[in-house]
Amino acid sequence: MAQSPSEQRRVQKSNIFYVLSFVPILLMSYFYIHYLLGLMIPLYGFIILLLKKEKLFSHSEPQLAQRILGLMVVVASFFVYFLVSPFFPNVVFYGLANYLVYIIGLLLVFFEIYALREAFSPLFLVAASVSSSYVSGLAESLFSRFIPQFVSFITVILRAIGIAATQLSSNPDMIVLNTSNGSIQLWFVWACVGFISTYIFSIILVILLAEESSNIKTKVIWAIIGVFGTFTVNIIRIITLLAGFHSFGYEYGLTIHSYIGYVLFITWSLIFLFLFSKRNIILQKMRLRAPKHLCSKRRIKGNM
């Protein structure tokens, strides 16, 4: 069946909007080449925008004045760097702050202003992530004194799996790996704790659960599973990295250090999102596999 002119125009408008929404992510990939984890936030925000396609395009088109305002915001988004760089020297030319302003402007160009409510989740996701480095700095000032306890915990795990490791008494932030080719000293800093990955995952988790219509109990259970899983994945990352240093030497350890965190975190995120999306099917299968005598007891209690 042929599409009506209005439907064709709607599809064309939708394609243009999503292409324009995605193009800045390609630009960000250049500036985030050494921090690929940062790209997960805009990508996930873009996916949420895709999922909200029907709701977004149910809104009418904006007035000319709002479109002009939106275009001004879009253009201004490319200059955010020059506003924030004097205060935050480590900011990249095109990052999350730029993308946040850009998407707001793009929404103003394509939809009436009330559509911003539909886009609250992806906008909140990006806005919260902009603060990740500053929140991490605050957390570091409060909890960095516990790094020696964290190193001690890692040392115990390494010894349990047969890797000769010692925590330096003179510097409890350092761990020594005793290998056949000599000892390797590694210094644990705040970044090793994995706070940033846990923080980013928690932001994604908040958005995911906020969009879900499940009851509070279900949301709390899955939130605990998500955060605990992220912490566990970070421990696996550290142990795998140190095992690489121990078995293959310092140079090999530096090589896997650059990639293993991204691989494990992205893998865990995909696994969690898959399990969360399939949770009802999983629960149903678990009920079907439950022993028959338990089902009988439940029926008896239900009839009492």
Question: 280's torsion region: left (phi>0), alpha (psi -120 to 50) or beta?
Answer: alpha
As a whole number of angstroms, the distance between CA 227 and CA 201 comes to 8
Paired with 186 in beta bridges are: 175
> Hunting for tokens 């644990």 — which residue is that?
188
- Identify whether the C-beta of residue 271 lies closer than 8 Å to the C-beta of residue 225: no
The H or E element spanning position 197 is: helix 195-211
Using DSSP, state whether 200 is helix, strand or coil: helix
% pLDDT > 70, the chain: 83
Per-residue pLDDT tens digits for 245-276: 888 776 776 677 767 777 888 788 888 878 87
Give the list of residues 6+ apart from residue 15 with CB closer than 8 angstroms, or none.
none
Average pLDDT over residues 82-91: 70
- Per the model's pLDDT, the better-predicted residue between 241 and 289 turns out to be 241
Average pLDDT over residues 80-89: 74
- Identify whether the C-beta of residue 132 lies closer than 8 Å to the C-beta of residue 195: no
Going 87 to 91 to 93 to 99, the CA torsion angle's sign is: negative
Question: What does residue 298 show for φ and ψ, rounded to 5 degrees?
Answer: -65, -35
pLDDT at position 20, please? 92
| Residue 280 confidence class, pLDDT cut points 50, 70, 90 | low
Per-residue pLDDT tens digits for 36-60: 666 777 887 888 888 788 888 888 8
* Residue 297 pLDDT greater than 50, yes or no: no
What end-to-end distance do the CA atoms of the chain give, in Å?
57
As a whole number of angstroms, the distance between CA 133 and CA 97 comes to 12
Task: State the alpha helices, DSSP H only, in the chain.
Answer: 5-31, 40-51, 53-56, 64-77, 80-84, 96-110, 120-130, 132-143, 147-160, 195-211, 216-248, 250-257, 260-277, 279-289, 292-303
| Residue 286 confidence class, pLDDT cut points 50, 70, 90 | low
Q: Indicate the domain borders of the chain.
A: 1-130, 137-304
